[in-house]
Amino acid sequence: MSTGRHILERYLDWTSTGLKPAVLDEALQINIAIILAIILNRFLFQRRIASPPLSWLVTILALFVSMQIPVQELHFTRIIRGLIFLVCTIGLVSLPHVLSFYLWPTEGARKRISLFLYIVVLGLFTADFSRR
């Protein structure tokens, strides 16, 4: 067995048995919220009706709507679970920065908003674990 295949098998074993279902559900829920916010803000920008307060309002609305999706009821196979966790991890690292481009038009404030979004994502991701 090659080293790459061994690492992949270990990763898939870890995501299927060692990873708590709540971690995957929370990562998937946050990614859905951010993706929905990006899609809605993109729609506003294409219609040329976007402003920072409206973008923030749409982002909060996307968060509330996405939290109503019953992600906990989805069941995945071993490989799909590993793939989804990998995509969610990449999304948690990259999507808040993409969303900050829609929330504020200037560079200096956008960096602060991006940092704020990363803190919120980290807080949402870890808040579930501190309650258990």
Q: In this predicted model, what pLDDT tens digit does every residue of 18-68 receive, in sequence order?
A: 777 888 888 888 899 999 999 999 998 888 887 888 888 998 999 899 889
The count of domains in the chain is 1
Band of the pLDDT at 132, cuts 50, 70, 90?
low
How many angstroms from the chain centroid is the CA of residue 5? 28
User: In sequence order, what are the residues at sequence separation of 6 or more whose Cβ sits closer than 8 angstroms to the Cβ of residue 101?
Assistant: 110
* 74, 88 Cβ separation under 8 angstroms: no
DSSP 53-74: HHHHHHHHHHHHHHTTS-GGG-
Residue type, 25: D
The angle formed by the CA atoms of residues 113, 115 and 38, to the nearest 5 degrees, is: 55
Query: What domain range includes position 78?
Result: 3-131
CA distance 94 to 30: 12
